[in-house]
Amino acid sequence: MNGIRRFALICMMVSLVVGLSACDELVSILTTSDLPQMDGVQGEIPIGVVVPLTGVGAGPYGFSMQRGFELAREEINNAQLGGATISFITVDDMSTVDGAVSAFQDLADQGISVVVGYTYTFQVDHVFPLAEENEVVAFSSVSSGAGRSSLSEYAFRTGLATNILNPAGVKVSQASLGYTKVAIIYDEVDPYAKSGYEDLSAALDEIGVEVVTTQTIQKGDTDFSEQMTAIMASDAEAIVISALATEMVQVMTQGRDAGIPSSVRYIVPDLTANEVAIVGDAAEGAITFINWIETSDTPGNQAFIRNYRETYGVEPDPWAAQSYATLYILAAAISNAGSTDSAAIRDALAQTTDFGTILGQFSFDPNGEALYDPIIAVVKDGQIVMFEDSDMADEDMLGNDPHDSN
């Protein structure tokens, strides 16, 4: 086990047992031999961080991503990595393609060997080819449109791709709830939403679920009354939504406001607690497929949550957790490579297998896509909880939902 991984697991286990609030408190009680060493790497290790700190992506994604990266950096640096320290060059991509491309190219021109961050699939569609051209590692902690890591040997992602996450969620939820007819509403412009729609449709078709109506929206739309009227006229037993956060919450709210009963479940990949809070009662009973959940017992997860709360005064979300895990995965690869050379880091990342993270046992497939166990969850009493742990998983789809007010 490499040094970074050994320290991370020790820190996580001891934090869970004795309740330490941060890994720097643990450093003082470890012997020198317990501290990780980054053989062949000394001094400052600069890493580019590209996140949306302005624009539409800042609130839903960017600030959480930045906090996750920074918390992991502080923990890793406090481990006294054989004289090496990680530093960040943080750039605001302004939630745009141009901002993301410009940020990556500027960092590559400065000689940075690794850039992390990148929220949107529409950004990595442009950045990952640049990674190949510049031979710079691009490691997205959040984007998840299917197949994007194959755009470059230097491209890696932490979030489960839609073609991995969505079929698993469809199969589990349908087996339990028994829905046979669904409506789909998706953003036909956004690449992530389109990818999600395609994978959801394929998964539904495979298990014999009929799509009774498909409604499209576009990023920036605010009035979904026409789509809701069409869905209400159908005999859908559930509504599948594939959209980014801003449109997602409006679709969920407007659906219930239009009179769609809560017995018609929402199925919403990548739903977060923040979005549930915005939607309120309209989110009750929604099924989601996600990468991380607060109640998970993965090694170090509860310590991460506690440290995040104490440091930032807010609750973590999946984007913070995925970014936190990303930096630990990267630090382990740098340690294994014994070098900050981008090709060496690329090769070390590609060899990551069953690495312990707060997301679970993490591996990369041959294309640089993440592999770990997806989480199927449900909104119950305003909280996102494991689907199998909720009695809502056993409710009748056709009208016996105790939250149904219609």
Q: What is the pLDDT of residue 84?
A: 84
- Identify which of 158, 95, 103 has the alpha carbon closest to the alpha carbon of residue 136: 103
Hey, CA dihedral for 259, 263, 269, 271, is it positive or negative?
Answer: positive
Q: DSSP secondary structure string, 307-323? A: HHHHHHSS---HHHHHH
pLDDT (average), residues 332-358: 95
pLDDT exceeds cutoff 50 at 199 = yes
**Whole-number Å distance between alpha carbons of 118 and 247:** 20
Q: What is the predicted pLDDT for the residue at 20? A: 39
Six-digit token string for 265: 């479940």
User: Is the pLDDT score of 39 beyond 70?
Assistant: no
Task: Kindly tell me if the per-residue pLDDT of 1 is higher than 60.
Answer: no
* DSSP per residue, 80-99: -BTTEEEEEEEEE-TTSHHH
| CB proximity list for 73: less than 8 A, separation 6 or greater | 86, 88, 327
Give the pLDDT score at 79.
Answer: 79
Model confidence, pTM:
0.85
pLDDT digits (tens, 9 = 90+) for 209-220: 999 999 999 999
Which structure tokens are listed for 238?
A: 């559930």
Q: What is the pLDDT at residue 83?
A: 73
CA distances (Å), origin 179, targets 85, 170, 171, 387, 394? 52, 10, 11, 16, 12
Partners of 216 in the beta sheet? 186
DSSP 50-87: EE-SSSTTIIIIIHHHHHHHHHHHHHHHHT-BTTEEEE
- pLDDT of residue 168 exceeding 50, the answer is yes
Give the C-alpha separation, 131 to 148, whole Å: 12
The number of CA neighbours under 13 Å toward the Cβ of 397 is: 20
What mean pLDDT is predicted for residues 161-190?
Answer: 96
Measured distance CA(158)–CA(143) in Å, rounded: 8
Nearest to 384 by CA among 295, 305, 321: 295
For 141-199, the DSSP string reads SS---TTGGGG-TTEEESSPPHHHHHHHHHHHHHHHH---EEEEEEESSSHHHHHHHHH
pLDDT at 244 (0 to 100): 95
The pLDDT-based confidence of 43 (bands split at 50, 70, 90) is: confident
- Residue 121 confidence (pLDDT) above 60: yes
- How many CA atoms lie less than 13 Å away from 386 in the CB half-sphere? 9
H or E element that contains 386: strand 383-386
Across the chain, mean pLDDT equals: 88
Instruction: Report the pLDDT value the prediction gives residue 80, as an integer from 0 to 100.
Output: 62
Q: Which two tokens stand for residue 61?
A: 């994604």
Is 94 a residue whose pLDDT tops 50? yes
Does residue 398 register a pLDDT over 90?
Answer: no
Decide if 208 contacts 175 (C-beta within 8 A): no
- Looking at this protein, which amino acid is placed at residue 50? V
